[in-house]
Amino acid sequence: MSGKSELNTYTSTIFLNKSLFLMSSMNDKIEIAQALDTKEKTNEEKEISSLIQEEKSTTSGKGIVIMMLVLIGIFALFIGGSYVYNKLTSADVVNIDQLHEQNLEEKLDEETGYVYNGYSFVKADGLWWTEIHIREMNLNIPLHFGPKEVEFVPMKGTMDPAFNIGENMYIAIDPTTADKYYTLATSELSFNIAKGINRIPVGSCTEENYICENRTIVSCENTQGKPVVELALAEETRIDISGTCIKVSGSGYGIVKAVDRLLYHWYGIMD
């Protein structure tokens, strides 16, 4: 599989992620504008405006959560190949294979390319790419952060062997969380589970919510014996493993770094 094909594939993912980023940014701008306008209103008008804004914010958050669940399902469709996914974009791309050749010849500076544990890493279009050999083929893997940027993320605990049984892997998200970095981490994880790990990501929720109708409710506290990866917003960036669950925590780009740290471990690039 060529580097160009892989970059086309992931460009589509970035397009979806940027759409969600824009949704969050637009909501922030609306809130600021409405807050300034509220200063000129009477107390009664302020109360009414506050109620309307609360409903708009809640509705927007629900839309982002629903989009995350849909994205996980979309990525699951590409587990057998990326032909259809590649058709979603026709953007011009760089030749990843050529960059790897230059990197191995030490023609790139460290900000653009380096070798880590025997794997060549090159940066293109804001992503770090490496090539792995899996399922009798070479696969170019793009992540937002290189291994040197995620070495600090601690990963502790013991995995139950049952985690590796079966095709499905349940991606448990908090239905009350509407955060662009959380969304980015969810899509990065799901894309790689489907395409690189060769398992089926199943969009799930950590608690009951009408948004999660017909979704499996699982978490690290309630795995139901299923293989679960739970994403949680938290101040500390870390990975905790217990039984058949992996809890990935962080905030801002920290949660994305934690996801990438886990993926490098799965790909055998990092311990």
User: Are 174 and 224 contained in the same domain?
Assistant: yes
Average pLDDT over residues 196-221: 91
Decide if 189 contacts 231 (C-beta within 8 A): yes
Rounded mean pLDDT of the chain? Answer: 76
Residue 66 pLDDT: 53
CA pair distance 264, 228, nearest whole angstrom: 18
Residue 9 pLDDT: 43
pLDDT digits (tens, 9 = 90+) for 26-41: 343 333 333 333 334 4
Number of domains in the chain: 2
CA pair distance 223, 105, nearest whole angstrom: 47
User: Are 134 and 242 contained in the same domain?
Assistant: no
pLDDT digits (tens, 9 = 90+) for 101-140: 999 999 999 999 999 999 999 999 899 999 988 877 888 8
pLDDT digits (tens, 9 = 90+) for 56-102: 444 444 554 555 554 454 444 444 444 333 333 222 345 888 999 99
The alpha carbon of 99 is separated from its chain's Cα centroid by a whole number of angstroms, namely 25
**Single-letter amino acid code for the residue at 79:** I
User: Are 123 and 237 contained in the same domain?
Assistant: no
Residue numbers of the domain that contains 113: 96-144
**Residue at 88 is within a domain:** no
User: Are 118 and 149 contained in the same domain?
Assistant: no
Residue 197 pLDDT: 83
CA pair distance 92, 100, nearest whole angstrom: 18
The interaxial angle of helices 180-192 and 253-266, nearest 10 deg, is 10
User: Are 225 and 207 contained in the same domain?
Assistant: yes
User: Are 179 and 66 contained in the same domain?
Assistant: yes
Residues contacting 61, CB < 8 A, separation 6+: 176, 178
